[in-house]
Structure 1
Amino acid sequence: MKTPHQSARALGVLAVAALALSACGTTQGGGEAPEATEKTEIGAGEGQLSVLAWPGYVEDGSNDPDVDWVTPFEEETGCQVSFKPFGTSDEAVTLMRTGQYDVVSASGDASLRLIAGGDVEPVNTDLLTNYPDVYPFLKDKAWNTVDGQNYGMPHGWGANLLMYRTDKVDPAPTSWSAVFDDAADYSGKVTAYDSPIYIADAALYLMKHQPDLGITNPYALDETQLAAAVDLLKKQREHVGEYWSDVVKEVQSFTSGSTVVGTTWQVGANIAQAGGAAVETVLPEEGATGWSDTWMVGAESPNKNCAYLWLDYIASPEANAAVAEYFGESPANPKACDLTKDKNHCETFHSGDEAYAEQIWYWTTPVEQCVDGRTDVKCTDYSAWTKAWTEIKG
C-alpha cells in the first residue's frame, strides 16, 4: 500500500493537466501545465507587497504587540505589507484569481488549482537562500512541484487531529470511529471541518475499515467510492452539533462543552488548554489528513522582487520559528527549532519526524485523473466533491 509520500510527481502533472482543462481558458495547449517561466535574479524591492494568507501567518503586532515578524521584514526590505486573511482554501483560490495579490500561502487543496489556472508562477528556488535548509520531505511534492518545476517555498505543516474532552469522552479515543461509527455516543456534540476536502477524512476511515471499496488514496475516489464516503458523512451529519472553519470558534465550543469530540488543528488544542479546557489530541490509528502549506507568487504580481524577498524571509529560522509557534504547526526549516520560545515546540509538533509525517495524507486537489495511479476509471473531481458536500450538509 502506498504511503502519503509515495505519490510520484508525475501525478501532480496529471492533476494540473486535468485542472487546466477547466481553468476558464487561462491555459492553452490541450491540457498542458502552464508554461514555466521564472526569475533569474532578485532586484530591489518595489516598496509594497500584498499578501493573501491563513489567519496567523502575517502578524504585525496589531493583534498582539509581542507577536510581530512583519515589521522586521518591512524595515529590512522596504516592502510595506498589506494583508488579507482567508478562511478556506476555496476562498483563497477565488481571491487569488482576481490577480490582486502578490503572494499566497496555499495548502495542497488549493495549490494545484492555482497552478492550473495560471494564477501563480514557477519559483526559482536557487534564489532563495533558506530553501536548502527546508526539510527534504516537504520538497518536490505533487502539491508544490509540477514536471520538476517548483512553484513555491514550503512553509508549515501539520495533521488534522482528533480532539476530545477528557472529562466527557471515556475511554480516550484511538480511532476516527469516535466521529463516524460511534458518533451516536456523543450525538449533537460532534464537530467536523466545514469543507468539501473533509470528504477525504471519511475516505481515509473507509480505506482502513472497508478495504473491499479499494480506496488506496483518500483524494482519489471513483463514483462508487465517493458515494460510500458521502453515505458515511450523511450518517455522521445526524450527530454533528456544528461544523467549523474558524478554529477560535471551535475552541469556544469545546470549552463550553457544546462540543466534546471532533477534528481539529493542534493550535486549537493549544488555545483550549491555555484557557483551562480539559482537552487532548490524538493522531488516530488510521492516520490523518493534514496540510503542507506553500508560499506561492502571483502570476500577475507587479512586485516580484518583494514577493521573492518575502518567500525567503518567511522561511528564515527567526520568522519560521515565530510563525510556527504562533499558528501552531511544525516549521519547515529545522533551524527554527532552536529559536522557539517554547523549547518543546518542535517535539510537540513532530518537526522533522518523517515517520510521523508519513502517516499524514496531505490535502491534495481531487481530479478526474486518479492520483492513485488507476487508469481504468475516472475519479471524481473537486466540483463533484463540492456538490456532494452540499448534499451532506443539507
Structure 2
Amino acid sequence: MKRMTRTARRGVTVGLAIASVALLTACGTSGGGTEPTEAATELGDMEGQLSVLAWPGYAEDGSNDPAVDWVTPFEEDTGCEVTVKTFGTSDEAVSLMKTGEYDVVSASGDASLRLVAGGDVQPVNMELTPNYANVYDFLKDKAWNTVDGENYGMPHGYGANLLMYSTDVFTEAPTSWGVVFDGSDAYAGKVTAYDSPIYIADAAMYLMATQPDLGIENPYALDEEQLAAAVDLLKTQRANIGEYWSDYLKEIQAFTTGDSVVGTTWQVIQNVAAAEGAPTDVTVPEEGVTGWSDTWMISSGTENPNCSYAWLDYIASPEANGQATEYFGEAPSSDEACEFRADCEAYHAGDASYAENIWYWTTPIEECIDGRTDAKCTDYSAWTEAWQQIKG
C-alpha cells in the first residue's frame, strides 16, 4: 500500500473530523450533549480539589508504589487535592465522563471526538498552559484533539499497540500479525485480543497489507464491504481466543500462567510482566501497528476549572511528563521530558517520521477519512454493533 501518502490522508482526516463532529452525536456515538462552552480567557484561585479520570499509570499517587508518585508534588504546589479513578477502555471513559463526576480525563483518539460531540468536554485556551509550547508539533492540531480550529486539550504521550508473545512458545519473535489472525489455529484457546470495538482497526490494518484488493487505505475508514471483511476475520479469530482483555493485570496473569501465549498488548504490560518474571516479549510486526496519542481534556461541567488547567499544564511539564510516560511505557510529549528519563530513544521520542507510521486510534465516522468522496464509511455505532456480533 502507499504508506508514504499517510501525511496527506491525515490532513484530510482533520478537515472531515471538523465537518463531522456533530454527526457523531446524531449517529448514536454520544449521548445528549450540551452546547459547547467557550475556552477560558484567564485563571483565578485554585478551588482545592480535582477529580482525575485516567488510564492506569497516568496519574500515580504513590498508592500502588510509594516510589512512583507525581500527583503529590502537584497537590503540594497547587493545593488541589486529587482523587484518581482509572478506566480500562475508551468506551468506559466516555460513559464515566457523562456522569459529570470528573474534572479532567486522559482521552485516546477513539474517545476524544465522542466527548467533544457529546458536549462533555470544553475547548482549552492553550495560552494558559505554558508547557504546551514544548509539545512536539506533530502532536498538535490533530483530528483527535482539535475541532473547528479550537484545541480541546493537552497532548500527553503516544505509543503503539504491540504484539506480545510467550518466549516459551516462540523461540523467535513473530514477524506478522498473521499469528493472531490467519495462523491463530496453531494457538487455539491461547490467543488474546483487546476488548474494544476499536480493535476492528487492527484486523483492518492486517487486511490492508494482506488483501489489497479490498482497497483499505486507512483502518478507521471502512465502507460496509471492508467492515464485513474485518468482521469475518475477527469471527474466525474468535474461535481461537482464550480471553479478550481490557484489564492489563489480567493479561499479565494470563501470560504468566500460560493461558495466553500471543496477542495484542501495550508496552506498559510488557514492562510489568517482565518485572514479575513472565516469559514474554513484544515486537512490531511487518504490517505495522495501531496506537494512541492521548489528550488531557477538561469537563465542560467542571466546578474546578483552575485546578483543571493547572493539571493540564503540570502533566505536560518536563519532569511530570517524563515520569508518567516512562512509567506507562510510551513516548513523552516533548524533548524536554526526555531529560528526566533514559529510554526515550527506545520509544523513538520526537521522531516525527516514526510517529507518522502509527495508525492512531481515531473515532470512525460516516465520511471516509481516507479521502474518498464516492463512498460512505461505517461509523462507531456500526463498529460497536459489529463487535457485539464478533464476541457473540
In the TM superposition, residue 15 of structure 1 has moved relative to its aligned partner by 3.4
Q: Normalising to structure 1: TM-score of the pair?
A: 0.94
Deviation larger for 193-202 or 161-170? 161-170
> What's the offset of the Cα at 1:172?
2.4
Pick from 10, 13, 20 the counterpart of residue 7 of structure 1. Answer: 10
**2:48·2:79 contact (CA, 8 Å) conserved in 1?**
yes
The alpha-carbon deviation at position 53 of structure 1 amounts to 0.9
Question: 1:375 offset after TM fit, Å?
Answer: 2.3
> Partner residue of 2:132?
131
Report the equivalent of 2:276: 275
Corresponding residue pairs, total: 385
Q: Distance in 2 between the 1:328 and 1:352 partners?
A: 15
Task: List per-residue Cα deviations over 1:119-162 (Å, max 9, x = no partner).
Answer: 10111111111101111111111000112211000001110001
Equivalence for 2:339: 338
- Shift, 1:25, TM fit: 4.3
Is 1:211 matched up with 2:216? Answer: no
Q: Bigger shift: 88-97 or 329-338? A: 329-338
Task: Point out where structure 1 has 5 or more consecutive residues left out of the alignment.
Answer: 28-33
Deviation at 1:276, TM superposition (A): 2.0
Letter paired with 1:7: R
Q: Is the 8 A contact 1:163 1:281 kept in 2?
A: yes
Aligned to 1:147: 148
Gap change, CA 1:98 and 1:53, over 3 Å in 2: same
> CA–CA distance in 1 between the matches of 2:7 and 2:301?
32
User: What is the letter of the counterpart of residue 344 of structure 2?
Assistant: C
What is the identity, as a one-letter code, of the residue corresponding to 2:388? T
| Partner Cα separation in structure 2 for residue 236 and residue 89 of structure 1 | 23
2:348 maps to 350
Could you tell me which residue of structure 2 aligns to residue 329 of structure 1?
330
Higher deviation after alignment, 34-43 or 107-116: 34-43
1:19 pairs, out of 6, 20, 24, with: 24
Shift of 1:84: 1.4
SS in 2 for 1:120: coil
Give a deviation string over 1:364-383, Cα, whole Å, max 9, x none.
11111221122222211111
Secondary structure of the corresponding residue to residue 7 of structure 1: helix
**Cα displacement string for residues 278-306 of structure 1 (whole angstroms, at most 9, x for unaligned residues):** 32211111111101110001001111111
List structure 1 segments (4+ residues) > 3 angstroms apart after TM superposition. Answer: 22-25
Whether contact under 8 Å (2:173, 2:283) holds in the other structure is no
- The alpha carbon displacement at 1:35 in A equals 4.4
Provide the TM-score with structure 2 as the length reference. Answer: 0.95
Q: Give the percent of matched residue pairs that are identical in Structure 1 and Structure 2.
A: 67
Residues 120 and 296 of structure 1 are in contact (CA less than 8 Å); yes or no, is this contact kept in structure 2?
yes
The 1-side partners of 2:48 and 2:7 are apart by 40
Residue type at the aligned position of 1:161: L
Kept in 2: contact 1:4–1:360 (CA 8 A): no
User: 1: CA distance between counterparts of 2:352 and 2:112?
Assistant: 22
8 Å CA contact 1:4–1:359 kept in 2: the answer is no
State the 1:5 CA deviation: 7.4
Please, which runs of 5 or more residues in structure 2 have no aligned partner?
A: none
